[in-house]
């Protein structure tokens, strides 16, 4: 299938909108050809993942775009960088890496991107309209954008994301196409207890199981209507996108494209059904831990970034006690700004390290020891062993807080029975 460009897109390629736009539209068009897209689609917003430092080439590419006059043509928020420019949490980057990471973050800001520096832009006010086409990066943000907001995006990686934002175009393939957004299987949770489905610790686990079953497919989850909150959907999507290549999930009666089975399946009857049994759930849950150790060396929450509600829950559960182990609460500037000054000070007084603009698995922040990291995040559990060298234990937020206070993990298995 040949790629057809509009008159305006041809003029961009010819450099009539500037050198940076010509470079950007060339990247987008070549990607579209590789993906077999028939055309490009105008996009109304972008979320940029390419501002995270992975090496000098990323910084030099961004600075080249700036030198060529690059400016985003649409609203564009920024995902996490490698530095905490707001709270000042310390990293273990070398001076050269620190400098290049800083230059990279500032280059993206100078192209007109909003300095949101969060992996949860949807909780910072970036919420594209149902059915709109956008160009988002970052796996959990893509899953939430497609699934919960009902906007349409593929997972746009580094360099392609900023190219889409400068050109205002994306390749028309994948999840931009309505026929690719229909469910092809059912994950049935109706046999699980209501108390389990109504617990926060359940959602990263069922998200992990969904990701393992889905791979690149799109499914619909049944039996969760009445139990979903935005933070739980955030946790589900992040775990699903980490465990599989999930860009879209549907939850029957909850997400906007799944009001009923007939609609979400496009009229197809008798979709294959995967029942969620206690055994399947237990296997997914155990897979989020890489050790059985009960001694805890550090605790981390906030992947995706903690919401204001989640930070307030930490305050309430700590109840003025101090943590005995390093406790990292990764969050966005928007969430901290929504806290009262006394609430923020309460977190600091109890020993919580507030981390903004970045998180502990994308930049080195943990002490260089071989230890165990306790987390309530399915995404942290997936990436932390490889990125930090720590073994991981998965637990509830309550277990994380008690583990940080005592230095030992005491699990409560009653809710899973």
Cα–Cα distance, 251 to 228 (Å, whole number): 9
395 and 280 in a single domain? The answer is no
What CATH number corresponds to the domain at position 80? 3.30.499.10
Question: For residues 297-331, b (16+ Cβ closer than 10 Å) or e, as one string?
Answer: bbbbbbbbbbbbebbbbbbeebeeeebebbbbbbb
156 and 190 in a single domain? The answer is no
Sign of CA dihedral 356, 149, 269, 38: negative
278 and 316 in a single domain? The answer is no
138 and 196 in a single domain? The answer is no
Half-sphere exposure of residue 321: CA atoms within 13 angstroms, side-chain side: 15
Closest CA to 78 of 56, 41, 106: 106
Residue 417 has pLDDT above 80, yes or no: no
In a domain, 229, yes or no: yes
pLDDT digits (tens, 9 = 90+) for 54-97: 999 999 999 999 999 999 999 999 999 999 999 999 999 999 99
Specify the pairing of strand 40-42 against strand 169-171: antiparallel
270 and 335 in a single domain? The answer is no
pLDDT band at 413 (very low <50, low <70, confident <90, very high): confident
In a domain, 130, yes or no: yes
In a domain, 2, yes or no: no
pLDDT band at 1 (very low <50, low <70, confident <90, very high): low
End-to-end CA distance of the chain: 53
Output the pTM of the full model: 0.97
Cβ partners under 8 Å of residue 404, min gap 6: 296, 299, 323, 324, 325, 327, 374
Cα–Cα distance, 403 to 361 (Å, whole number): 20
Number of domains in the chain: 3
276 and 325 in a single domain? The answer is no
In a domain, 291, yes or no: no
396 and 252 in a single domain? The answer is no
Least confident segment among 2-16, 48-62, 149-163, 366-380: 366-380
In a domain, 415, yes or no: no
> CA of 49: how far to CAs of 53, 116, 128, 225, in Å?
10, 12, 17, 32
Cα–Cα distance, 129 to 254 (Å, whole number): 16
pLDDT value at position 320? 86
Specify the pairing of strand 169-171 against strand 250-251: unpaired
In a domain, 292, yes or no: no
65 and 94 in a single domain? The answer is yes
164 and 269 in a single domain? The answer is no
pLDDT value at position 140? 98
160: phi then psi, degrees, rounded to nearest 5? -70, -35
Structure tokens of 276? 């969620």
Q: Which long-range contacts (CB under 8 A, 24 or more apart) does 88-94 make?
A: 89/328, 89/353, 89/354, 89/355, 89/356, 89/358, 89/365, 90/365, 91/358, 91/363, 91/364, 91/365, 92/364, 92/365, 92/368, 93/363, 93/364
Residue 187 has pLDDT above 70, yes or no: yes
25 and 91 in a single domain? The answer is yes
273 and 381 in a single domain? The answer is no
- Residue 72: which domain range? 7-175
Asked if residue 198 lies in contact with residue 231, where contact means CB atoms within 8 angstroms, the answer is: no
Q: What is the DSSP letter of 330?
A: E
pLDDT digits (tens, 9 = 90+) for 259-296: 999 999 999 999 999 999 999 999 999 999 999 999 99
pLDDT digits (tens, 9 = 90+) for 155-173: 999 999 999 999 999 999 9
166 and 17 in a single domain? The answer is yes
């Amino acid at each position: 299938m040949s790629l057809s460009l509009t008159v305006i897109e041809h003029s961009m390629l010819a450099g009539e909108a500037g050198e940076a736009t010509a470079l950007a539209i060339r990247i987008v068009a070549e990607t579209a050809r590789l993906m077999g897209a028939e055309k490009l689609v105008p996009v109304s917003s972008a979320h940029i993942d390419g501002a995270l430092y992975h090496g000098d080439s990323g910084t030099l590419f961004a600075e080249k775009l700036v030198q060529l006059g690059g400016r985003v043509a649409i609203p564009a928020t920024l995902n996490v960088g490698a530095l905490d420019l707001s709270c000042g949490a310390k990293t273990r980057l070398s001076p050269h890496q620190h400098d290049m990471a800083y230059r990279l973050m500032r280059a993206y800001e100078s192209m007109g991107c909003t300095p949101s520096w969060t992996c949860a832009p949807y909780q910072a006010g970036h919420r594209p309209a149902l059915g709109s086409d956008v160009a988002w990066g970052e796996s959990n943000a893509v899953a939430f954008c497609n699934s919960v907001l009902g906007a349409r995006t593929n997972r746009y990686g580094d360099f392609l994301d900023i190219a889409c934002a400068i050109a205002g175009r994306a390749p028309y393939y994948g999840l931009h196409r309505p026929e690719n957004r229909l469910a092809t299987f059912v994950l049935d949770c109706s046999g699980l207890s209501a108390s389990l489905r109504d617990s926060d610790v359940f959602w990263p686990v069922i998200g992990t199981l969904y990701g393992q079953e889905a791979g690149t497919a799109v499914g619909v989850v049944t039996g969760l209507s009445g139990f979903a909150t935005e933070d739980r959907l955030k946790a589900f999507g992040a775990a699903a996108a980490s465990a599989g290549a999930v860009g879209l999930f549907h939850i029957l009666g909850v997400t906007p494209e799944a009001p009923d089975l007939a609609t979400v399946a496009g009229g197809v009857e008798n979709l294959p059904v995967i029942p969620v049994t206690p055994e399947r759930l237990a296997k997914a849950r155990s897979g989020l831990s890489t050790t059985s150790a009960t001694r805890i060396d550090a605790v981390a929450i906030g992947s995706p970034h903690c919401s204001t509600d989640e930070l307030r829950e930490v305050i309430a559960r700590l109840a003025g006690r101090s943590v005995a182990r390093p406790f990292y609460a990764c969050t966005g500037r928007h969430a901290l700004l929504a806290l009262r000054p006394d609430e923020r000070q309460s977190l600091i007084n109890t020993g919580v390290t507030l981390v903004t603009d970045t998180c502990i698995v994308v930049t080195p922040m943990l002490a260089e020891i071989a230890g165990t990291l306790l987390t309530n995040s399915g995404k942290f559990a997936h990436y932390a062993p490889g990125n930090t060298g720590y073994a991981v234990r998965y637990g509830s937020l309550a277990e994380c807080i008690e583990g940080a206070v005592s230095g030992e993990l005491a699990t409560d298995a009653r809710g899973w029975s």
